[in-house]
Amino acid sequence: MKKIAIFAKVHDPRCVGIAEELIEWLVAKGLSPMVESHLAKHVGSAYSAERQDIQEEADLVVVLGGDGTLISVARLVGDRQVPILGVNLGSLGFLTEITLAEMYPALERCLKGDYEVSGRMMLRVSLHREGEEIEGHQVLNDVVINKGALARIIDLETEVDGRYLSTFKADGLIISTPTGSTGYSLSANGPIVHPQLDCLLMTPICPHTLTNRPIVVAGDALISITLQSVNEDVFLTLDGQVGFELKHGDQICIQRAEHQTRLVQSRSKDYFEVLRTKLKWGER
């Protein structure tokens, strides 16, 4: 590994300060930092790199911040399956599980090739309008279709592998990866699914029919959702970060992406420990 990309929450002074120290550490090691351009402006670094260059050239990505920052980076480098080392600088994250104290030892191991990664499923999402694909994206956590604040319940005709499942009458529908099961899906009473399972989750948001419950389908399933509602404000949101307004008749197709996100694992904690700590299980 020679080219090490760095992303951080630029509005967090602590993240910026740690990024400055990390850049110096990498240079002293004879490595080539690739500092994301917005971060480079905040740290005054000469090693600024555009996102496109990072996407094409980085050997390792270090993310300083929280899960939201890491999720955006995963969408950027997922196609190349570049290892991502997520360093948590706030409350414990589900994805950024490396602590600041662990960062440099973990980096040393990565440089020596002595590290383990957790492969996380990503989703390929395409938006079709009048028979034409107008948007195509990859996501790590979830795809959400939901109504605007003043809109009525929406109708979402849903098929799995070409077979009709149901027309959900609800405030919306969440399709998530196992990684995303601890996100918005969980708040909508979806199940927690271990990230190594090969499956997709479908969780209705406040369904009009109380018997519409979350459903888990095979990881290689093709989910197709057609918006049947007319004259309602409905939106498609990807990982809670990218959004599009939908129109009557729009079709959203969701399936497992070809590549995975590869997260460098902590050696001091496992997934179940993260769950216990984050969700405060066992506390009174």
In a domain, 88, yes or no: yes
The CATH number covering residue 197 comes to 2.60.200.30
Does one domain contain both 178 and 210? yes
Instruction: Specify whether 67 is catalytic.
Output: yes
The answer to whether 9 touches 66, Cβ cutoff 8 Å, is yes
Beta-ladder partners of 4: 33, 60
CA dist., res. 226 & res. 131, Å (int): 12
In a domain, 284, yes or no: no
Whether this prediction's pTM lies above 0.85 is answered by yes
CA dist., res. 278 & res. 203, Å (int): 22
Q: How many domains does the chain have?
A: 2
Does one domain contain both 179 and 243? yes
Supply 270's token pair: 């496992």
In a domain, 145, yes or no: yes
Most confident of 207-216, 244-253, 274-283: 244-253
| pLDDT tens by residue, 136-183 | 999 999 999 999 988 899 999 999 999 999 999 999 999 999 999 999
Q: How confident is the model at residue 267 (pLDDT cuts 50, 70, 90)?
A: confident
| pLDDT tens by residue, 54-74 | 999 999 999 998 888 999 999
Does one domain contain both 109 and 185? no
Q: What is the DSSP string of 180-207?
A: GGGTHHHHTTPPP--TTS-EEEEEEES-
Does residue 92 register a pLDDT over 70?
no
CA dist., res. 127 & res. 284, Å (int): 45
Does one domain contain both 142 and 237? yes
Does one domain contain both 44 and 109? yes
In a domain, 283, yes or no: no
pLDDT confidence of residue 277? 84
Beta-ladder partners of 34: 5
Does one domain contain both 244 and 143? yes
In a domain, 34, yes or no: yes
Does one domain contain both 86 and 50? yes
Does one domain contain both 74 and 202? no
Residues contacting 31, CB < 8 A, separation 6+? 1, 2, 3, 4, 111
Beta-ladder partners of 137: 125
Does one domain contain both 166 and 233? yes
In a domain, 188, yes or no: yes
Q: The domain containing residue 138 runs over which residues?
A: 122-258
CA dist., res. 276 & res. 284, Å (int): 13
Of 118, 123, 140, nearest to 221 (Cα)? Answer: 123
The answer to whether 256 touches 124, Cβ cutoff 8 Å, is yes
Does one domain contain both 100 and 190? no
**Residue pointed to by tokens 């020596």:** 112
The answer to whether 178 touches 169, Cβ cutoff 8 Å, is no
CA–CA distances in Å: residue 4 to residues 33, 35, 59, 62, 130: 5, 8, 6, 7, 43
In a domain, 43, yes or no: yes
Does one domain contain both 146 and 92? no
CA dist., res. 36 & res. 45, Å (int): 10
The CATH number covering residue 93 comes to 3.40.50.10330
Q: In the Cβ-directed half-sphere of 180, how many Cα atoms lie within 13 Å?
A: 29
Catalytic residue among 12, 53, 59, 67: 67
In a domain, 192, yes or no: yes
Does residue 115 register a pLDDT over 90?
yes
The answer to whether 205 touches 174, Cβ cutoff 8 Å, is yes
**Amino acid in the structure at residue 226:** T
Does one domain contain both 141 and 243? yes
Supply 130's token pair: 């009048």
CA dist., res. 179 & res. 170, Å (int): 24
Calculate ∠ Cα 239-91-19, nearest 5°: 80
